[in-house]
Every structure is written in structure tokens, then in C-alpha cells.
Amino acid sequence: MERQIAQADKLAALGELSAGVAHEINNPLGIILGYTQLLLKQESDDQDDLRIIEKHVKNCKTVVSDLLFFSRKGSSEMSIGDINKVVDGVVKFLSNHSDFSNIEMSLNPYTGDRLNILGNEQELAQVMVNLVINACHAVDGKGNIDITTQKTEPDKILIMVKDNGKGIDKKNLTRIFDPFFTTKPVGQGTGLGLSVGYGIIKRHQGDIRVKSSRGKGTLFTISLPADSTMT
């Protein structure tokens, strides 16, 4: 509980800072990108250099976009939706991606009651996409990813994403939800995906936990409150 409170305080403080920083640098980045793309439309000997500038400015804008999302205060529209529908949509979307061509992805949905929640389906789908893509990286593009939904109690819904990849070192387990922490090579991740996901799940009054050991895969478990009007 103390760790969760400390994590929440850390994310709240960084959220305030992130919003200010992101807004300050977003405008000059937009100007740089605009002028670069304008110059690219002209014939010159500097096309390769300009494309390098364009590429890195776009990377910076992606980080800024993640920062702004990270700092957003839960004003997103909530509605009643079926979590099985969200998960199924994510699996169908990612299964068509070339990165998943050598991955065995299995979906094991709960088949009892509808898994209704009060939430934002787009945000929850974003969390799922990030977890499944992380699992894809963990198995190096060739392995198994199992996604399961359950209702363990009348008021609790679980979503589990399990892979048989390389696992997470014990020393990193307490840090994976920290903003900007990543074990990926430079340029392959902002380190904000799990932090953003953590914030989204907390805004939905839920919880997200991880179990992993080196060489034995990883299991992420999301817990969400079931909608009280579900039948």
C-alpha cells in the first residue's frame, strides 16, 4: 500500500511538470517540423539532412504527445462497455500486424455474464495495445501470448496478458511503472507506455500488477470494477 501511494504521488507530481514542459516545447517543435517539411517540397541537395531532422522532430512530438496524455486529468468520457469487446478488438487489430506473424496469440474470454464496466473503451484499448506490444518485444517476435478475461467476483473483472518471453529482472520489477523507465534500446521506447497505462487503470478505479522472473515470461494482471448495473 505504501508503494502504491508513493507511486501515485510520484505520477501526480510528474504529471503537473509534464503538462508545463510539453506545452512549452510543443509549439517550437511544430514550427521546426513545418519549416522542414516546407523545405522538403523544394528541390535541393539537402534532402537527406532535412529528412533526418523531420524524423527526429516527429520522435520528439511523439514524446510530447505521450507527456500530454500522461498529464491529462480524468476528464475522458465514460460509458458502459463490454471489456471482452475491447480485448477482442485489440487482438484482431494487432494480429494483422507483421510483427505478430510468428507469434501464437490466444484469446480466452470469460463466457459467463457480459463483462460490463463503466469506462473509456479507447483508453482501455490503448493500455491493452501497449501490454501486448510489450509482450511481442519480450518474445522477440516469436513465441506465445495468452490473453484471458475473468470475473472472479461479482464486482471484479480481471484481464491477464501472459507471455513466454525473456522476463523482467527482479531489480526492475519495482520500476517498470516509473515514467521514462525502459529496458529497450535508445530510440525504441519513451518509457511512458506503462506509466500512462497505470494512470488510465487508476482513473478507472482499478489496479495493474506484474509477475515475472528472468527467462520464465511475464504476467500482467489488470483488475477493474464491474459495472453495478450489469445483469
142-164 confidence digits (pLDDT tens): 899 999 999 988 889 999 999 99
Least confident of 74-83, 126-135, 147-156, 161-170: 74-83
CA atoms of 62 and 81, how far apart (whole Å)? 29
**What pLDDT does residue 17 have?**
59
**Could you tell me which residue, 52 or 88, shows the higher pLDDT?**
88
Burial class (CB in 10 A: 0-12, 13-18, 19+), 83: buried
Count CA atoms within 13 Å of residue 117 on its CB side.
29
> pTM value?
0.66
pLDDT band, very low/low/confident/very high, at 206 (cuts 50, 70, 90): very high
Q: Which helix (H) or strand (E) holds 210?
A: strand 207-212
pLDDT at 125 over 80: yes
| Type of residue found at 228 | S
83-118 confidence digits (pLDDT tens): 999 999 989 888 878 888 889 999 999 988 789 999
**Could you tell me which residue, 43 or 162, shows the higher pLDDT?**
162
High-pLDDT (> 90) share of the chain, %:
26
Mean pLDDT value across residues 57-75: 64
Phi, psi of 176 (to 5 degrees): -65, -20
**What pLDDT does residue 231 have?**
45
Task: Specify the domain boundaries for CATH 1.10.287 within the chain.
Answer: 2-71
CA atoms of 201 and 231, how far apart (whole Å)? 23
DSSP state of 44: -
Burial class (CB in 10 A: 0-12, 13-18, 19+), 38: exposed
DSSP letter string over 71-124? H--S-S--EEEEHHHHHHHHHHHHHTSGGGTTEEEEEE---SS--EEEE-HHHH
Task: Specify the domain boundaries for CATH 3.30.565.10 within the chain.
Answer: 79-225
CA atoms of 55 and 47, how far apart (whole Å)? 12
End-to-end CA distance of the chain: 32
pLDDT at 73 over 60: no
Least confident of 53-67, 89-103, 118-132: 53-67
**What pLDDT does residue 176 have?**
82
Q: In the predicted model, what is the mean pLDDT of the chain?
A: 80
pLDDT at 171 over 70: yes
CA atoms of 100 and 143, how far apart (whole Å)? 9
**What pLDDT does residue 18 have?**
61
Q: Packing angle between helix 193-203 and helix 47-71, nearest 10 degrees?
A: 30
**What pLDDT does residue 230 have?**
47
Fold category of 79-225 in CATH: Heat Shock Protein 90 (3.30.565)
pLDDT band, very low/low/confident/very high, at 199 (cuts 50, 70, 90): confident
**Could you tell me which residue, 193 or 87, shows the higher pLDDT?**
87
| Type of residue found at 189 | G
**What pLDDT does residue 57 have?**
82
**What pLDDT does residue 186 have?**
52
Q: Does domain 2-71 have CATH number 1.10.10?
A: no
